[in-house]
C-alpha cells in the first residue's frame, strides 16, 4: 500500500467536503461545496437529501481529479457527518420521502414536552445517554411518519428506510447494498441503547417507529461495503464512519481516557473521552459513544452548543457587519472591550448546559456609543463564554480539572477568540496545525480498519501543535463571566 491514500468524506451542516490524506496525515487534495439551507418556518431547518449526496459525490470526484488520482490510489474511504440529521427514503427507488430534517430543527419541541411530561427523561437518559430534545433523530423520524402521507403504512410494510447522514451516504455509495450506521451516529438518535449496543424496543414502541426501517449498527472502524463502480470508475471500500464530533476527537488523537477537544464550527462541541465506561452527567452534558474500534466501545461526555461560528455567519450574512468571518478578528481587536454588550446567540434554543428549546437570542447592554466593532467582539466572546460554561459543567461532573485543552474547527483560526478563551478558562489552549480534525478522524478510522495505519501510536505521531495560547490572568474576568450569566437569563 505504499502509494495509496485515504479519502475522507466530510458531510457537514453547510458544506460537503472531501479531503485526501497520506500516511503522515497530510492533505493531498481537497474540494468543498456548499449546499442549500432550507428554512420552511421559524425554527425549522431542512436539507435536500439528493443535494447532500450529489454535492458529496461531486467533491469526491473533484478531489481525486485535482490530486491526479484514481479510485485505485485510494486504500479506503472514511465518512464523517453532521449528526442527528434525519433521512427517510424509499428502499426501491432510493428517493427520500421528505427533506432531511436537520439537527438544528426545533419542530418537535412540543412532542418532546409530551415525552418529558410522561416522566420519560430519566429512563431515556439511562438507556441512550441523551436528554429528551428535538435535537436528536428519534422525534424527527416520528414527525416524518406522522406528517408525510402514507409514510407510516409504507414504513411498517418495510418499504422505507431511515438513516442519519453517514447511513444515507453509505447506502447510496454502495448502490443500496449496505444499510448500516456506526455506533457513534446510532448513539445520537435517542433510539439506541448505548450499554447493550442495540435499538431499544421500549423506546421504539413508545415512539411508534418500526424497527424494520432502522440500519444495522456496526463499529466505527471496519469494512462497511464497497462503492458502486459507476461513481469512481472502480470500487473503493468504505472502512470507517463516525459522527463529526466523535471523528474530531479521534482526529485529535484523544484515544485515552481524560483526553478532550473543543470544536468551534457552526455549533460548538466539547467532548471528553471517558474510556470504556459511560459517565452520566448531573450538569446537562450528554453521554455518548465515541467510537467502536475492534471489540471495544469508547464513550464520551459531550457538551453541545447549537450556535458557535454560526453567529459570525449571521453577522456576515444577515447583518452585513463584516465581509468575511476572518475580518471579525481585526474588528474585535480595534476596541478594548465590548463596552458591556453581550450577545447570547440562542437562535435555535439553548443546548448544554441550559437545554431550553424555546430560548431565543438576545443582545444586551447596548448604549448610544455601541458600534459594530463592539457587536462583533461580543459575538466572538459569546463563543468563548459558551465554551466556558461547558468546561465548568464537565469539570463538575468529573470532579477534576480538564488536563489538556485542545481546540479545532473553522473558528479556532481566530487568535482573538483563542486568547479570550484562554483568559476565561485560566488555562493553556493547544491548537493543532491541522484544524480539519473531523475529516482526519474519519480517515484514521478507515485507515486503521484496512491496515493503512498499524496502530493508534502511528497516528499520535502525526499530531502537531501550531500554537499554545496562555492566559494573562486579567482581574476583570470574573465580572465579565457574571455579566454573561445575567445575559443568558434574559433569553427565556
In the complex, least distance from residue 216 CB atom to ligand ADP, rounded to whole angstroms: 27
Q: Are strands 180-182 and 268-275 parallel, antiparallel or unpaired?
A: unpaired
State which of positions 267-326 bind ligand ADP (CB under 6 A).
Answer: 309-310, 312-313, 325-326
Rounded to the nearest whole angstrom, what is the least distance from the CB of residue 203 to ligand ADP in the complex? 28
In the chain, DSSP finds a helix count (H) and a strand count (E) of 17, 23
Cα 407 from chain centroid (whole Å): 14
Query: Cα-flanking dihedrals φ and ψ of residue 77, to 5°?
Result: -105, 135
Q: In terms of CB distance, is 227 or 266 closer to ligand ADP?
A: 266
Tell me how far, at minimum, the Cβ of 411 lies from ligand ADP, in Å: 3
14 part of the interface to ligand ADP, by CB under 6 A: yes
Question: Which residue, 39 or 358, has its beta carbon nearer to ligand ADP?
Answer: 39
CB of 13 to ligand ADP, least distance (A): 5
Q: Candidates 129, 163, 225, 265: give the one binding ligand ADP (CB under 6 A).
A: 265
**Unique residue bearing C-alpha cell 495560547:** 469
Task: State the DSSP code for 99.
Answer: P
Residue 38 · residue 50 · CB < 8 Å: no
Q: Which is nearer to ligand ADP, 86 or 328 (CB)?
A: 328
- Binding piece for ligand ADP, criterion CB under 6 A, among 6-14, 44-52, 125-133, 268-276: 6-14
Which residues in the 352-391 window bind ligand ADP by CB under 6 A?
A: none
Report the nearest approach of ligand ADP to the CB of residue 439 (Å). 9
- Residues 192-251 within binding reach of ligand ADP (CB under 6 A): none
Could you tell me the smallest distance in angstroms from the CB atom of residue 277 to ligand ADP? Answer: 29
Give the H/E segment covering residue 277. Answer: none
Closest CB to ligand ADP among 209 and 322?
322
**Ramachandran region of residue 456, left (φ > 0), alpha (ψ -120 to 50) or beta?**
alpha
Q: DSSP letter at 411?
A: G
Which residue's C-alpha cell is 416522566? 119
Q: How far is the CB of 306 from ligand ADP (least distance, A)?
A: 11
x/- string (CB under 6 A) for ligand ADP, residues 390-419? -------------------xxx-xx-----
Give kind and range of the element (H or E) at residue 123.
helix 121-128
Interface with ligand ADP (CB under 6 A), residue total 18
Q: How far is it, in rounded angstroms, from Cα 432 to Cα 467?
A: 7
Q: Which is nearer to ligand ADP, 180 or 390 (CB)?
A: 390
Residue nearest to ligand ADP (CB): 410
| SS3 assignment, position 368 | coil
- Give the span between the Cα atoms of 325 and 345, in whole angstroms: 16
Interacting residue with ligand ADP among 7, 8, 9, 12 (CB under 6 A) = 12
User: Least separation, in Å, of the C-beta of 369 and ligand ADP?
Assistant: 24
Tell me how far, at minimum, the Cβ of 164 lies from ligand ADP, in Å: 16
300 Cβ partners below 8 Å, 6+ apart? 246, 249, 271, 272, 273, 274, 287, 288, 289, 290
Q: Which is nearer to ligand ADP, 52 or 97 (CB)?
A: 52
The least distance separating ligand ADP from the CB of residue 352, rounded to whole angstroms, comes to: 17
Between 59 and 209, name the residue whose CB sits nearer to ligand ADP.
Answer: 59
Using the minimum distance from each CB to ligand ADP, give the nearer residue, 333 or 490. Answer: 333
Identity of the residue, 386 or 414, whose beta carbon is nearer to ligand ADP in the bound complex? 414
Among the listed ranges 8-16, 126-134, 204-212, 441-449, the one in contact with ligand ADP (CB under 6 A) is 8-16
Provide CB contacts within 8 A for 213, sequence distance 6+. 88, 141, 155, 158, 160, 161, 162
Q: Which of 13, 167, 174, 281 binds ligand ADP (CB under 6 A)?
A: 13
Got the DSSP string for 21-90?
A: E-TTS-EEEEEEEE---B--STT--EE-HHHHHHHHHHHHHHHHHHTT--GGGEEEEEEEE-SS-BEEEE
Beta bridge partners of 47: 100
3-state secondary structure of 312: helix
Beta carbon nearer to ligand ADP, 111 or 420: 420
Q: What minimum distance in Å lies between the beta carbon of 72 and ligand ADP?
A: 30
Task: Classify the phi-psi angles of 320: left when phi > 0, otherwise alpha if psi is within -120 to 50, otherwise beta.
Answer: left
Q: Is the CA virtual torsion 214, 220, 223, 226 positive or negative?
A: positive
Taking the least distance from each CB to ligand ADP, the nearer of 215 and 265 is 265
Query: 23 phi and psi, to 5 degrees?
Result: -65, -25
Q: Based on CB atoms, which residue is closest to ligand ADP, 203 or 435? A: 435
Q: How far is the CB of 6 from ligand ADP (least distance, A)?
A: 19
- Nine-digit cell string for 38: 432550507
Site for ligand ADP contains 456 (CB under 6 A): no
> 431 has which bridge partners?
467
Indicate the angle between helix axes 437-449 and 244-251, nearest 10 degrees.
80
SS3 86: strand
SS3 182: strand
Instruction: Please identify, using beta-carbon distances, which residue of 290 and 312 lies nearer to ligand ADP.
Output: 312
Q: Whole-angstrom Cα distance, residue 456 to residue 56?
A: 28
Least separation in angstroms between CB 86 and ligand ADP: 18
Contacting positions for ligand ADP (CB under 6 A): 12-14, 265-266, 309-310, 312-313, 325-326, 328-329, 409-411, 413-414
Amino acid at each position: 500500500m505504499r502509494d495509496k491514500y485515504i479519502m475522507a468524506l466530510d458531510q457537514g451542516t453547510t458544506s460537503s467536503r472531501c479531503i485526501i490524506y497520506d500516511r503522515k496525515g497530510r492533505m493531498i487534495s481537497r474540494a468543498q461545496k456548499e449546499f442549500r439551507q432550507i428554512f420552511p418556518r421559524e425554527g425549522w431547518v431542512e436539507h435536500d437529501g439528493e443535494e447532500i449526496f450529489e454535492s458529496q459525490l461531486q467533491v469526491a470526484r473533484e478531489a481525486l481529479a485535482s490530486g491526479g488520482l484514481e479510485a485505485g490510489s485510494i486504500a479506503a474511504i472514511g465518512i464523517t457527518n453532521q449528526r442527528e440529521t434525519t433521512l427517510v427514503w424509499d428502499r426501491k427507488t432510493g428517493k427520500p420521502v421528505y427533506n432531511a430534517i436537520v439537527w438544528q430543527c426545533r419542530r418537535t419541541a412540543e412532542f418532546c414536552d409530551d415525552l418529558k411530561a410522561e416522566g420519560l427523561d430519566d429512563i431515556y437518559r439511562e438507556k441512550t445517554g441523551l436528554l429528551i430534545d428535538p435535537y436528536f433523530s428519534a422525534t424527527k423520524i416520528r414527525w416524518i411518519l406522522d406528517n408525510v402521507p402514507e409514510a407510516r403504512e409504507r414504513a411498517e410494510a418495510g418499504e422505507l428506510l431511515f438513516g442519519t447522514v453517514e447511513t444515507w451516504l453509505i447506502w447510496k455509495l454502495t448502490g443500496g447494498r449496505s444499510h448500516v450506521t456506526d455506533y457513534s451516529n446510532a448513539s445520537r438518535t435517542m433510539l439506541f441503547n448505548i450499554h447493550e449496543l442495540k435499538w431499544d424496543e421500549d423506546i421504539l414502541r413508545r415512539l411508534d417507529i418500526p424497527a424494520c426501517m432502522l440500519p444495522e449498527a456496526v463499529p466505527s472502524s471496519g469494512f462497511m461495503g464497497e462503492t458502486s463502480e459507476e461513481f469512481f470508475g472502480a470500487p473503493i471500500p468504505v472502512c470507517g464512519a463516525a459522527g463529526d464530533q466523535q471523528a474530531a476527537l479521534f482526529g485529535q488523537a484523544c484515544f485515552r481516557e481524560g483526553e478532550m477537544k473543543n470544536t468551534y464550527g457552526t455549533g460548538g462541541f466539547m467532548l471528553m473521552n471517558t474510556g470504556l465506561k459511560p459517565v452520566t452527567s448531573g450538569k446537562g452534558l450528554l453521554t455518548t459513544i465515541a467510537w467502536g474500534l475492534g471489540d471495544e466501545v469508547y464513550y464520551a461526555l459531550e457538551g453541545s452548543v447549537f450556535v458557535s461560528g454560526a453567529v459570525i455567519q449571521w453577522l456576515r450574512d444577515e447583518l452585513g457587519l463584516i465581509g468575511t468571518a476572518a475580518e471579525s478578528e481585526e474588528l474585535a481587536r480595534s476596541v478594548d472591550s465590548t463596552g458591556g454588550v453581550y450577545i447570547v446567540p440562542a437562535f435555535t434554543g439553548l443546548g448544554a448546559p441550559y437545554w431550553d428549546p424555546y430560548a431565543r437570542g438576545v443582545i444586551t447592554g447596548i448604549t448610544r456609543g455601541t458600534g459594530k466593532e463592539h457587536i462583533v467582539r461580543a459575538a466572538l466572546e459569546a463563543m468563548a463564554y459558551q465554551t466556558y460554561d461547558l468546561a465548568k459543567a464537565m469539570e463538575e461532573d468529573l470532579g477534576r480539572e480538564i488536563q489538556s485543552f485542545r481546540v479545532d474547527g473553522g473558528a479556532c483560526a481566530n487568535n482573538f477568540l483563542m486568547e479570550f478563551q484562554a483568559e476565561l478558562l485560566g488555562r493553556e489552549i493547544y491548537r493543532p496545525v491541522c484544524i480539519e480534525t473531523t475529516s482526519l478522524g474519519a480517515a484514521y478510522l478507515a485507515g486503521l480498519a484496512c491496515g493503512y495505519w498499524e496502530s493508534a501510536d502511528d497516528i499520535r505521531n502525526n499530531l502537531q501543535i501550531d500554537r499554545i495560547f496562555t492566559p494573562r490572568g486579567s482581574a476583570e474576568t470574573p465580572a465579565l463571566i457574571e455579566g454573561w450569566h445575567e445575559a443568558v437569563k434574559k433569553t427565556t
